[in-house]
Chains A and B, each alone.
Chain A
């Protein structure tokens, strides 16, 4: 077996040193009822050739995004990732190291985390950012829990523009922690509606921009209303590239900004692993979840980095911890940080503009189809359209013709009465010919 270095002679020698007659003697504490001498009922070992054959078989039963026109977004976006990113994250020292608990021999990972935190704080316009969480949805849920700790109130109000699967993740955690959630009905352009739902018991309001329908909103007024009631404003973003074009959450008064960072540096990967961005105002940092990396000096006075404020965390505080989180999304955060360093401010702004222009061009082409209506008034790289037919059926029809048209909203929230709404996303990878072909097929499908 190629991953096991011990030879039969090694094993015999080692058992001799231990003073055991057989390997079974080392498993003597296992109750007789559970002892197995034979392997379980699964195939036996296989070589690289056989394993590759099986995985290739499975991979070929999927239609990858690069194969043709692809307009799927709703929280995960297909962007071009520079080849450098994947090369660096496969370096042994990044790929095969553990959480940097021994800072003297983990400065590579720690400096990357410090740079990542600095980048995320700049992007979100917030004071501080953590070293990442699992993904955007769990980051949103953690933000709600943090608002409960900060305000000591137990109600969260979510706008009708928050991604329904994010709502699901929040509700799961909120229910566990005794926080009441009030989610407003799905609405394309009504983030402001949360204002009316704020009351004295409200710990936080959660709004998304651009929201799940693609609508970008200035949330400044919501921030004012939330603060007037002693509540925190949590701003969710599922498309991190939008930070390159749109006002930052911090500039609009957010107390906590969370985002899905997948768009930068990370592939689609069928939904994970991704990287949750989490940033907040400095005064709340001791209530923040997850790992934080901070600057310090070593015994010689040289600059170095360590994990810090860990008295918030489970391995120290146990049942009084701010969160049970034990990992971040280290390698995905590294990929994010490398890609962002390559982009720089100028590259990010250009990337964001390109994404926006592709969406404008796509919307223009689709709006020309009789019976198709663009619903999103102000969008970045994704928008909702109303079709004269069931959107899920149209998506299947076009998929059979080679175009993945987008996400039918009904897939995210079946009961919302929006079965005719399709979410369409574009990125810099969208070709002009993709747009033309999509519009042509859609015109045929909705006739």
Chain B
């Protein structure tokens, strides 16, 4: 009855080469089993749902129906549960250990948020049902907006962008609309530091801007003289991350804003690192015109293996009229979503997507904000910065901090100078961390630091976990310097798989399961 198992890899010899000469008889590795694809497990006639039979009725779809096989395997419920649970065990996760990915803010994801997002009155509601029947949902959006505006000291927010990069797009489109409305449509250049996230130049280019890089000083900040030289009547905006991707606060940020505004340009701040300053510094006090906020970083919504995220954008007075629809408004009649670019939203530049944005993420972020409160959020920033500086302080004797002078913010950046002559690269070192039970740090970013290792612990790590992490890195650093290159070159040794051949994957892309030629597609 099962369809076909052709193509399923059974390589007991390969699976067992490691494990100190010991091999299981069936080819598995204890409780960690190779897991076939659903196409190798399932059956074409198998299903894990019990649905009532459809009653035949006259349909006008003659000639439009799909009569050939689709090619979808089905699993019974027990098989499905086992398949996905087995797969899950091949993943690292923040719930397992410190996850020090710099620039990603892998903090604890409170389960209360998940529970609240599943309340039927918040999850089982449709974006287009009458607004009179979703007053609580629109009020929640209004409350979230109030918190984001207050925390950033900005007068307006566009909630709908679906991720950080989508927020960048939203911010630049508001800037572009403002310039066009003010007769400044000729401004076609965006300035961004070399250390910027890749999304910054990608977004700017997408909006038709030419990107010009701003130089960086030796102490990891924007070079004011270079900025001033490059500003002019052709510049639409600058895009600066603050705290920046080197984990440093741009101490001249107020002057950066002043120079930018004096040149008639707007200041877009990449808010990816807002976690370092939330509740303690308001970007509005620094002269920022637009900034996206990754709810999946600072406000703890889960990363989910790569999304969904949410990227609301706070806007200054000058940019607020151009915010995309929908807008939330509130009067004595209740809460209302303005969905068309008319009335108060007449200058809106358009809409970012269908519907109203990532409501499920709004609920989680709002529950998180209420839990922490203004006092707790300030403590978040302080503990995030304290943890990063603690790591930096305890590793600086063995590893080389990229910017040794002064404190860092929420992440500690090292270069690879300390690995010189060891034969071990940043990549090797990072992969060896896996064998010690930790996810690697962000590697080779920012681009301005050679062999960069960017470590962001976040505020949700205990001192004991930080110490465990630090000890592991110190042992590894010692091993690298002692010439134990085999430990590094073939790392990881203890992960579900060894290093994967990414070159082969790209040269001959195999992007979906295909039946082996001889196998019948609808075998019974």
Contact = CB atoms under 8 A, between A and B. Distances in A.
Contact of B90 (A14, A29, A107, A320): A107
A45 B162 contact: no
Interface string A284-319: 010000011111111111111110111101111111
A340 B72 contact: yes
Interface of B is mostly: loop
B354 A30 contact: no
A341 B136 contact: no
Nearest to A412: B128
Interface in B294-353: 300, 302-310, 324-325, 339-340, 349-353
B186 interface: no
Contacts of B166: 134, 138
Contacts of B378: 36, 39-40
A308 B506 contact: yes
Nearest to B248: A29
Given A63-B133, A297-B501, A342-B48, A96 B379 contact: no
B80 to A, nearest CB: 5
B72 A119 contact: yes
A151 interface: no
B303 A41 contact: no
B324 A218 contact: no
B383 A4 contact: yes
Nearest to B357: A272
A196 interface: no
A104 B495 contact: yes
Interface stretch (B57-65, B230-238, B416-424): B57-65
Interface in B91-140: 91-96, 99, 101, 104, 106, 108-110, 112, 114-130, 132-137, 139-140
A4 B376 contact: yes
Contacts of A325: 163, 165
A247 B367 contact: no
A264 B63 CA distance: 25
Given A60-B136, A342-B75, A346-B44, A95 B324 contact: no
A95 B462 contact: no
B179 interface: no
Given A114-B37, A321-B202, A15 B386 contact: yes
Contacts of B352: 138, 169, 172
Contacts of B375: 39, 44-45
B258 to A, nearest CB: 11
A373 to B, nearest CB: 15
Contacts of A295: 505, 510-511
B47 A346 contact: yes
B282 A40 contact: yes
Interface in A319-366: 319-321, 323-332, 334, 338, 340-351, 353-354, 356-357, 360-361
A404 B124 CA distance: 13
Report, nearest first, the 6 A-B pairs whose CB atoms are least far apart.
A344-B74, A61-B136, A59-B121, A271-B355, A331-B304, A271-B127
19 contacts: A11-B386, A39-B375, A45-B376, A48-B371, A50-B370, A51-B370, A59-B120, A61-B137, A94-B84, A94-B91, A102-B434, A118-B512, A129-B511, A134-B162, A166-B354, A345-B72, A357-B55, A360-B59, A404-B129
